[in-house]
A = this chain, B = another copy of it.
Amino acid sequence: MDRVYGSQLTSHIGERVKLAGWLHSLRALGKINFLQLRDVTGIVQIVLTKEQVKQLGGALPESVLEVEGAVAAEPQAPGGVEVRDPAIRVLNRVSEALPFPVNKPDLDVHLDTFLNFATFGLRHPKKQAVFRVLAGVLDGFRRFLDRNGFVEIASPKIVESATESGANVFKIDYFGRPAYLAQSPQFYKQMMVGVFERVFEVGPVFRAEPHATVRHVNEYISLDVEFGFIRDHFDVMQVLTRLIRAMLDHLRERCARELDLLNVELPLAPERFPHIDFPDALQLIYERYGEDARHEPDLSPQHERWLGAWARETHGSDFLFVTGYPMVKRPFYTHPKPDDPRYANGFDLIFRGTELVTGGQRLHQYDDYEAALRSRGITDLAPFEGYLQAFRYGMPPHGGFAIGSERFVMQLLGASNLRETTLFPRDLNRLSP
Contact = CB atoms under 8 A, between A and B. Distances in A.
Interface of A: 3, 20, 22-23, 39-40, 62-64, 91-94, 96, 98, 117-120, 122-123, 127-128, 131-132, 135, 138-139, 142, 146, 149, 151-160, 170-175, 177, 179, 181, 188, 191-192, 194-198, 202-204, 206, 208, 210, 218-219, 221, 229, 364-365, 385-387, 389-390, 392-397, 405, 423-424, 426, 428, 431-433
A206 B157 CA distance: 9
Nearest to A132: B151
Interface residues of A, dominant DSSP: mixed
A371 to B, nearest CB: 16
A171 B91 CA distance: 38
B431 A177 contact: yes
A179 B395 contact: no
22 contacts: A22-B394, A23-B394, A40-B196, A91-B396, A94-B394, A98-B393, A119-B194, A119-B389, A127-B195, A131-B151, A138-B152, A139-B146, A154-B202, A156-B204, A157-B206, A158-B181, A158-B426, A171-B172, A172-B181, A203-B203, A203-B204, A204-B204
B390 A154 contact: no
A428 B176 CA distance: 10
A390 B119 contact: yes
Contacts of A195: 119, 122-123, 127-128, 131
B92 A385 contact: no
User: How many copies of this kind of chain does the complex include?
Assistant: 2
B394 A179 contact: no
B433 A387 contact: yes
B431 A160 contact: yes
B170 A170 contact: no
Nearest to A128: B195
B62 A393 contact: yes
Contact of A394 (B92, B155, B364): B92
Given A40-B198, A392-B96, A397-B91, A157 B62 contact: no
Residue of A149, A170, A387 with most chain B CB atoms under a 10 A cut-off: A170
B392 A94 contact: yes
Given A91-B397, A393-B94, A153 B131 contact: yes
Contacts of A405: 154
A179 to B, nearest CB: 6
Given A139-B152, A173-B170, A229-B20, A396 B64 contact: yes
A218 to B, nearest CB: 7
Contacts of A139: 142, 146, 152
A108 B171 CA distance: 37
Contacts of A118: 386
Nearest to A66: B229
